[in-house]
Amino acid sequence: MNLYLSCDPFTGLLMSNQRPEIFNPYGYVPGTDGKTEEYSELKSTDELFKSTILMFMYPFPTTPEFSKKGEFVFVSAASGAIGQLVGQFAKLNTGCYVVGSAGTLDKVELLKNRFGFDDAFNYKKEPDLNAALKRVHGRIAVCGMISQYNRPQHEGYSNFLDFILPYIGEGKVKYVEDIVEGLENGPAALIGLFSGRNVGNRESENSKQATMADGSDKEAVVSNKQVIFKDYISGFPKESDMAITCNENMKLKVPAGSKDIVVKNLYLSCDPYMRLLMKTNSGSVWNPYTPGSTIIGVGIAKVVDSGHPDFRQGDLVLGKTGWEEYSVLKSTQGLFKIQHDTDVPLSYYMGILGMPGLTAYAGFYDVCSPKKGEYVFVSAASGAVGQLVGQFAKLMGCFVVGSAGTQEKVELLKKLGFDDAFNYKEEPDLNEALKRCFPEGIDIYFENVGGKMLDAVLLHMRVHGRIAVCGMISQYNLAQPEGVHNLMTIVYKRVRIQGFFVADYHPRYSEFLDFILSYIREGKVKYVEDIVEGLENGPAALVGLFSGRNVGKQIVVVAKE
């Protein structure tokens, strides 16, 4: 199983039918994948090492015949995977005078301020490279490495580890990586090498950050991809209402004396209530989003650094966080520490073990006060909350019907154990659909939709029926909410309608976990997730909630743990 893939300039040679002869055994064959895949079958153990880090050979020859103290060394592409090490080795081991070239001012500053190069210049800004090299110093030492390529790598590699590991441990050599998420982004990362888009070595992995191999991640300034809310909206939200930006100066270290917590976001939850925060008068217990600022939602994150006594580096947490790769949490209100059991997916804390699960638990058992044998109707029943309410009702011995927006979702509900289900979009008369499903009437309605559905349900409520109002997704995008006409039913059938807010039940979260985990492990409760990869796909996933595009709990994976 491939975990990390390296993007290297030599792969460009393998794509040419006129590649150097030394690369012929490795050349790509048109129509094949070039071993860039999730799983690979290895036919040979040649050039295979039991190791987790570093390179295949010394990037800078340090033996006397190759280098002498005080020589003048010039390194091109000096901020790259090899160049950054060549310069440090030249400074460290032989006391040379070192100059590097790079393609941006940021990279130039990195060479001088981080890696200790004596000087550096941006070759793209130099009209005359000859004059630039004369200006930097009169003498250039050119060091080639092709003589190293045919050495037995097993012998050289162990010697190299003995050489480099002490320097890393002592902090005398640093290394910058540029990591992108997902195999599907590998081609863009590889191509980016040739335009100088990367800073350091390119790898395809689960997240993008500039990481120092000496362990000083928290001291680093990293790039932080973010989803920005543009401005307040009316009608249905669109992807264009949000923008993907990148903060290039995210610091991972909490200032001394602060109780802030810096986290790396792993999973983000897409929830219908977020639409309410996109208008000035949200009517929500949470403040509306601020135009030009990062979208806020519920997420799972890993603590990078903490000034708070209750949270430590490495802790997994669940709570409000930004739609970005890294967030600074100023408050711990509603922030839970996750004691992750490896027998359930971590993503479950976005759904069945998180806010939707607690919502279903509190709404059904507390607000609805169910009794065995009662008739239960759940709208938006295939969603993050509804699918659980229906299963809880079946565990209580109730008769359960759910509504959903596609035939696929209707079939899913029946697989989850609902007694019946219908596609509300194909019902010309909701009143008739409910009469067909509930000839005896409805004792409990778990409300997720509002509008016409609520109006129709009221006519079928039984005496002393209960309606738990969790949400009204059909109303969120309307400039003027729909009216409800059958309200007198509440009076003469003595129906109790109660809204509720999940934050009121946060103190009972541990009680809920004890309840639900046993059912998950016994296979008595199942959960459906709809997962998209990559923060850049977050806006589309969120917008898709309001057209019913998702099946199950919609989750955005920012980075894998």
Contact criterion met (CB below 8 Å) for 84 and 78: yes
Task: Identify the band that residue 168 occupies on the pLDDT scale cut at 50, 70 and 90.
Answer: confident
Residue 153 has pLDDT above 50, yes or no: no
User: Using CA atoms, how far apart are residues 297 and 37, in angstroms rounded to an integer?
Assistant: 33
Looking at residue 133, its pLDDT comes to 84
Whole-number pLDDT of residue 527 = 95
The beta strand positions in 130-215, using DSSP E, are 176-181, 201-205, 210-212
- The Cβ-side half-sphere exposure at 39, using a 13 Å CA radius, reads 1
Residue 209 has pLDDT above 50, yes or no: no
For residue 357, with 0-12 CB atoms within 10 Å meaning exposed, 13-18 middle and 19 or more buried, which class applies? buried
Which of 27-36, 298-307, 308-317, 415-424 is predicted with the least confidence, judged by mean pLDDT? 27-36
Between residues 55 and 510, the one the model is more confident about:
510
Residue 28: predicted pLDDT: 58
Percent of the chain with pLDDT over 70: 79
Tell me what pLDDT residue 7 has.
76
Say if residues 117 and 99 touch (Cβ distance below 8 Å): yes
Instruction: Answer whether residue 428 shows pLDDT above 90.
Output: yes
Instruction: Give how far Cα 311 sits from Cα of 150, 307, 334, Å.
Output: 51, 8, 13
The pLDDT of residue 341 is above 80: no
Q: List pLDDT tens digits, range 216-271.
A: 455 678 999 999 999 998 889 999 999 999 998 899 999 989 999 999 999 999 99
List strand residue ranges (DSSP E) for 448-533, in order. Answer: 461-469, 496-499, 529-533
Q: Is the pLDDT of residue 59 over 70?
A: no
327 has which bridge partners? Answer: 263
Tell me which of 88-92, 200-204, 368-372, 547-551 is least confident: 200-204
Read off the pLDDT band of 470 (50, 70, 90).
very high
Q: Are 454 and 484 in contact (CB under 8 A)?
A: yes
130-144, 160-174, 405-419: least confidently modelled range: 130-144
**For residue 501, what pLDDT is reported?**
92
Torsion sign over Cα 438, 443, 448, 450: positive
Q: Mean of the pLDDT values across residues 129-149?
A: 55
- For residue 513, the one-letter residue type is L
What pLDDT is stored for residue 348 in this prediction?
95
Average pLDDT over the chain reads 83
484-536 pLDDT, tens digit per residue, is 999 999 999 999 999 999 989 999 999 999 999 999 999 999 999 999 999 99
The angle subtended at Cα 470 by Cα 465 and Cα 471, nearest 5°, is: 120
Q: Rounded to the nearest 10 degrees, what angle do helices 386-395 and 407-415 cross at?
A: 30
Considering Cα of 41, then 44, then 46, then 51, what sign does the dihedral take? positive
Instruction: Answer whether residue 301 shows pLDDT above 90.
Output: yes
CB neighbours (10 Å) of residue 199? 20
The model's confidence at residue 300, banded by pLDDT at 50, 70 and 90, is very high
pLDDT in tens, 355-405: 999 999 999 999 999 999 999 999 999 999 999 999 999 999 999 999 999
User: Bigger pLDDT: 366 or 170?
Assistant: 366
Backbone phi and psi for residue 111, each to the nearest 5 degrees, phi listed first: -65, -40
Q: How confident is the model at residue 471 (pLDDT cuts 50, 70, 90)?
A: very high
Residue 165 pLDDT exceeds 80? no
Close Cβ partners of 272 (under 8 Å, ≥ 6 residues apart): 471, 473, 476, 545, 546
What is the pLDDT averaged over residues 26-33?
56
Rounded Cα distance, 18 and 34, in Å: 17
What pLDDT digit, counting tens, does each position of 78-119 carry?
998 899 999 998 888 678 999 999 999 889 989 988 889 999
Instruction: Yes or no: say if 212 and 189 are a contact pair by the CB < 8 Å rule.
Output: no
- β-bridge partners, 321: 297
